[in-house]
Amino acid sequence: MTDFVRPILNPPGGQKKVLLHSCCAPCSGEVMEAMLASGVDYTIFFYNPNIHPEREYLLRKDENVRFAEKHGVGFIDADYDKDNWFARAKGMEWEPERGARCTMCFDMRFERTALYAHEHGFPVITSSLGISRWKNMAQINDCGKRAAAKYDGVEYWDYNWRKGGGSARMIEISKREEFYQQEYCGCVYSLRDTNAHRRAGGREPITLGVKFYGQDSTEGEG
Ligand code: SF4
Protein backbone atom coordinates (compact mmCIF):
# COMPACT_ATOMS: atom_id res chain seq x y z
CA MET A 1 0.00 0.00 0.00
CA THR A 2 1.05 3.58 -0.62
CA ASP A 3 2.24 5.52 2.45
CA PHE A 4 -0.18 8.29 3.29
CA VAL A 5 -1.51 10.35 6.17
CA ARG A 6 -5.25 10.08 6.35
CA PRO A 7 -7.19 13.27 7.03
CA ILE A 8 -9.18 13.29 10.27
CA LEU A 9 -12.82 13.07 9.27
CA ASN A 10 -15.39 15.21 11.00
CA PRO A 11 -19.00 14.31 10.19
CA PRO A 12 -21.36 17.31 10.19
CA GLY A 13 -22.60 18.65 13.52
CA GLY A 14 -19.73 17.00 15.39
CA GLN A 15 -21.60 13.71 15.13
CA LYS A 16 -19.77 10.38 15.25
CA LYS A 17 -22.62 8.04 14.32
CA VAL A 18 -23.15 7.59 10.58
CA LEU A 19 -25.29 5.40 8.32
CA LEU A 20 -23.22 4.64 5.22
CA HIS A 21 -25.17 3.72 2.12
CA SER A 22 -22.91 1.31 0.26
CA CYS A 23 -23.29 0.47 -3.42
CA CYS A 24 -20.55 -2.20 -3.52
CA ALA A 25 -17.32 -3.34 -1.86
CA PRO A 26 -14.88 -1.63 -4.27
CA CYS A 27 -16.49 1.80 -3.80
CA SER A 28 -17.02 1.47 -0.04
CA GLY A 29 -13.65 -0.10 0.85
CA GLU A 30 -11.79 3.19 1.07
CA VAL A 31 -14.77 5.00 2.64
CA MET A 32 -14.97 2.30 5.32
CA GLU A 33 -11.26 2.30 6.14
CA ALA A 34 -11.16 6.12 6.19
CA MET A 35 -14.01 6.28 8.69
CA LEU A 36 -12.49 3.54 10.84
CA ALA A 37 -9.21 5.46 10.95
CA SER A 38 -11.07 8.53 12.27
CA GLY A 39 -13.06 6.61 14.86
CA VAL A 40 -16.40 7.26 13.15
CA ASP A 41 -19.07 4.85 14.46
CA TYR A 42 -20.82 3.74 11.32
CA THR A 43 -23.11 1.03 10.01
CA ILE A 44 -23.44 -0.05 6.40
CA PHE A 45 -26.83 0.16 4.72
CA PHE A 46 -26.98 -1.99 1.60
CA TYR A 47 -30.00 -0.98 -0.43
CA ASN A 48 -29.45 -1.32 -4.17
CA PRO A 49 -32.59 -2.61 -5.91
CA ASN A 50 -31.21 -1.26 -9.19
CA ILE A 51 -28.69 -4.10 -9.58
CA HIS A 52 -29.66 -6.62 -12.24
CA PRO A 53 -29.73 -9.58 -12.55
CA GLU A 54 -30.11 -11.01 -9.06
CA ARG A 55 -26.95 -13.08 -9.48
CA GLU A 56 -24.93 -9.86 -9.92
CA TYR A 57 -26.77 -8.31 -6.96
CA LEU A 58 -25.74 -11.21 -4.74
CA LEU A 59 -22.14 -11.15 -5.98
CA ARG A 60 -21.82 -7.46 -5.10
CA LYS A 61 -23.62 -7.79 -1.78
CA ASP A 62 -21.71 -10.86 -0.61
CA GLU A 63 -18.41 -9.15 -1.35
CA ASN A 64 -19.50 -6.18 0.76
CA VAL A 65 -20.66 -8.44 3.61
CA ARG A 66 -17.28 -10.21 3.59
CA PHE A 67 -15.38 -6.93 3.95
CA ALA A 68 -17.75 -5.61 6.65
CA GLU A 69 -17.27 -8.80 8.67
CA LYS A 70 -13.50 -8.52 8.31
CA HIS A 71 -13.65 -5.07 9.93
CA GLY A 72 -16.41 -5.91 12.42
CA VAL A 73 -18.73 -3.29 10.93
CA GLY A 74 -22.51 -3.63 11.20
CA PHE A 75 -24.29 -4.42 7.93
CA ILE A 76 -27.98 -3.73 7.29
CA ASP A 77 -29.16 -5.91 4.40
CA ALA A 78 -32.15 -3.92 3.13
CA ASP A 79 -34.80 -5.03 0.65
CA TYR A 80 -34.09 -6.02 -2.92
CA ASP A 81 -37.35 -4.45 -4.03
CA LYS A 82 -36.50 -4.47 -7.72
CA ASP A 83 -40.17 -4.33 -8.77
CA ASN A 84 -40.42 -0.85 -7.26
CA TRP A 85 -37.19 0.15 -8.96
CA PHE A 86 -38.48 -0.96 -12.37
CA ALA A 87 -41.79 0.83 -11.72
CA ARG A 88 -39.95 4.08 -11.02
CA ALA A 89 -37.68 3.62 -14.05
CA LYS A 90 -40.63 3.22 -16.42
CA GLY A 91 -40.33 5.63 -19.35
CA MET A 92 -36.62 6.24 -18.62
CA GLU A 93 -35.28 3.06 -20.20
CA TRP A 94 -33.29 4.96 -22.83
CA GLU A 95 -31.94 7.72 -20.61
CA PRO A 96 -28.13 7.98 -20.77
CA GLU A 97 -26.00 7.37 -17.69
CA ARG A 98 -25.93 10.44 -15.41
CA GLY A 99 -29.38 11.42 -16.75
CA ALA A 100 -32.89 11.42 -15.26
CA ARG A 101 -33.01 7.66 -14.63
CA CYS A 102 -29.87 7.91 -12.52
CA THR A 103 -31.35 10.80 -10.52
CA MET A 104 -34.37 8.59 -9.80
CA CYS A 105 -32.05 5.69 -8.90
CA PHE A 106 -30.02 7.77 -6.44
CA ASP A 107 -33.19 9.35 -5.02
CA MET A 108 -34.71 5.94 -4.38
CA ARG A 109 -31.63 4.60 -2.61
CA PHE A 110 -31.14 7.73 -0.51
CA GLU A 111 -34.83 7.95 0.40
CA ARG A 112 -34.69 4.51 1.99
CA THR A 113 -31.36 5.29 3.65
CA ALA A 114 -32.71 8.51 5.17
CA LEU A 115 -35.88 6.77 6.35
CA TYR A 116 -33.84 4.06 8.07
CA ALA A 117 -31.60 6.71 9.65
CA HIS A 118 -34.66 8.58 10.93
CA GLU A 119 -36.25 5.44 12.37
CA HIS A 120 -33.06 4.10 13.97
CA GLY A 121 -31.38 7.19 15.38
CA PHE A 122 -28.62 7.90 12.87
CA PRO A 123 -28.03 11.69 12.71
CA VAL A 124 -25.86 11.51 9.55
CA ILE A 125 -26.10 9.63 6.26
CA THR A 126 -23.52 9.41 3.51
CA SER A 127 -22.75 7.13 0.56
CA SER A 128 -19.93 5.43 -1.30
CA LEU A 129 -21.61 6.26 -4.63
CA GLY A 130 -19.64 9.48 -5.20
CA ILE A 131 -16.16 7.93 -5.02
CA SER A 132 -16.44 6.42 -8.49
CA ARG A 133 -15.05 8.62 -11.23
CA TRP A 134 -17.84 7.37 -13.49
CA LYS A 135 -20.45 9.19 -11.39
CA ASN A 136 -21.58 12.84 -11.26
CA MET A 137 -20.86 13.87 -7.69
CA ALA A 138 -23.10 16.94 -7.79
CA GLN A 139 -26.02 14.80 -8.97
CA ILE A 140 -25.42 12.34 -6.11
CA ASN A 141 -25.09 15.07 -3.49
CA ASP A 142 -28.31 16.74 -4.64
CA CYS A 143 -30.16 13.44 -4.19
CA GLY A 144 -28.60 12.81 -0.78
CA LYS A 145 -29.50 16.27 0.51
CA ARG A 146 -33.04 16.03 -0.85
CA ALA A 147 -33.62 12.74 0.97
CA ALA A 148 -32.15 13.89 4.28
CA ALA A 149 -34.15 17.14 4.18
CA LYS A 150 -37.36 15.12 4.67
CA TYR A 151 -36.41 14.42 8.29
CA ASP A 152 -35.49 16.64 11.21
CA GLY A 153 -32.33 15.31 12.80
CA VAL A 154 -30.93 13.61 9.68
CA GLU A 155 -28.16 15.32 7.75
CA TYR A 156 -26.45 14.30 4.52
CA TRP A 157 -22.64 14.32 4.66
CA ASP A 158 -21.34 15.42 1.25
CA TYR A 159 -17.70 14.55 1.92
CA ASN A 160 -15.66 14.17 -1.27
CA TRP A 161 -14.23 10.67 -0.83
CA ARG A 162 -12.11 11.04 -3.98
CA LYS A 163 -9.88 13.75 -2.54
CA GLY A 164 -6.65 13.33 -0.60
CA GLY A 165 -5.76 10.21 -2.59
CA GLY A 166 -9.10 8.51 -1.92
CA SER A 167 -9.57 7.43 -5.53
CA ALA A 168 -6.13 5.78 -5.66
CA ARG A 169 -6.67 4.03 -2.32
CA MET A 170 -10.02 2.74 -3.55
CA ILE A 171 -8.17 0.87 -6.29
CA GLU A 172 -5.36 -0.25 -3.95
CA ILE A 173 -7.80 -1.68 -1.43
CA SER A 174 -9.81 -3.38 -4.16
CA LYS A 175 -6.65 -5.08 -5.46
CA ARG A 176 -5.45 -5.98 -1.97
CA GLU A 177 -8.82 -7.58 -1.18
CA GLU A 178 -9.26 -9.00 -4.71
CA PHE A 179 -12.79 -7.68 -4.77
CA TYR A 180 -15.25 -8.79 -7.40
CA GLN A 181 -14.97 -6.24 -10.22
CA GLN A 182 -18.25 -5.22 -11.77
CA GLU A 183 -18.09 -4.05 -15.34
CA TYR A 184 -21.28 -1.99 -15.56
CA CYS A 185 -23.05 0.44 -13.28
CA GLY A 186 -25.77 -1.94 -12.16
CA CYS A 187 -29.18 -1.77 -13.83
CA VAL A 188 -30.33 -3.81 -16.81
CA TYR A 189 -30.15 -0.70 -18.99
CA SER A 190 -26.53 0.02 -18.08
CA LEU A 191 -25.73 -3.64 -18.82
CA ARG A 192 -27.44 -3.32 -22.22
CA ASP A 193 -25.62 -0.08 -23.06
CA THR A 194 -22.21 -1.29 -21.87
CA ASN A 195 -22.56 -4.46 -23.94
CA ALA A 196 -23.59 -2.41 -27.00
CA HIS A 197 -20.48 -0.28 -26.53
CA ARG A 198 -18.30 -3.36 -26.21
CA ARG A 199 -19.78 -5.00 -29.30
CA ALA A 200 -19.22 -1.79 -31.28
CA GLY A 201 -15.56 -1.97 -30.28
CA GLY A 202 -15.27 -5.62 -31.28
CA ARG A 203 -15.26 -6.89 -27.68
CA GLU A 204 -17.20 -9.75 -26.14
CA PRO A 205 -20.22 -8.90 -23.96
CA ILE A 206 -19.84 -8.97 -20.19
CA THR A 207 -19.67 -12.31 -18.43
CA LEU A 208 -20.89 -12.04 -14.84
CA GLY A 209 -18.83 -13.30 -11.92
CA VAL A 210 -15.46 -13.77 -13.60
CA LYS A 211 -13.47 -10.57 -13.06
CA PHE A 212 -11.66 -9.69 -9.85
CA TYR A 213 -9.38 -6.77 -8.97
CA GLY A 214 -5.70 -7.60 -8.94
CA GLN A 215 -5.91 -9.94 -11.91
CA ASP A 216 -5.10 -7.20 -14.42
CA SER A 217 -4.69 -3.43 -14.44
CA THR A 218 -8.06 -2.34 -15.81
CA GLU A 219 -10.49 -0.38 -13.67
CA GLY A 220 -14.08 -1.49 -13.26
CA GLU A 221 -17.17 0.61 -12.84
CA GLY A 222 -18.68 1.24 -9.44
S1 SF4 B 1 -26.97 3.57 -14.82
FE2 SF4 B 1 -26.47 3.15 -12.64
S3 SF4 B 1 -27.15 4.96 -11.44
FE4 SF4 B 1 -28.11 5.02 -13.51
S5 SF4 B 1 -30.10 4.04 -13.24
FE6 SF4 B 1 -28.69 2.43 -13.91
S7 SF4 B 1 -27.88 1.53 -12.01
FE8 SF4 B 1 -28.86 3.48 -11.44
Q: What is the pLDDT of residues 83-105, one digit of tens each?
A: 999 999 999 999 999 999 999 99
Please state the atom number of ligand 1 nearest to the C-alpha of residue 97: 1
Report the binding-site residues for [4Fe-4S] cluster.
23-24, 102, 105
Domain membership of residue 201 (yes or no) is no
Question: What number is the average pLDDT over the span 198-221?
Answer: 86
Domain membership of residue 216 (yes or no) is no
At 51 the pLDDT is 98
Task: State pLDDT tens for residues 112-129.
Answer: 999 999 999 999 999 999
Question: Does 2 have pLDDT greater than 80?
Answer: no
Domain membership of residue 212 (yes or no) is no
Question: Does 53 have pLDDT greater than 70?
Answer: yes
Domain membership of residue 6 (yes or no) is no
Q: What is the 3-state secondary structure (H, E, C) of 120-171?
A: HCCCEEEECHHHCCCCCHHHHHHHHHHHHCCCCCCEECCCCCCCCCHHHHHH
Number of domains into which the chain is organized: 1
* Residue numbers of the domain that contains 29: 15-177
Pocket test for ligand 1, best of 23, 88, 189, 193 (most atoms within 8 A of CB): 189
CATH number where 86 lies: 3.40.50.620
Domain membership of residue 159 (yes or no) is yes
Domain membership of residue 32 (yes or no) is yes
Quick one: CA torsion of 125, 127, 131, 134, rounded to 10 degrees? -130
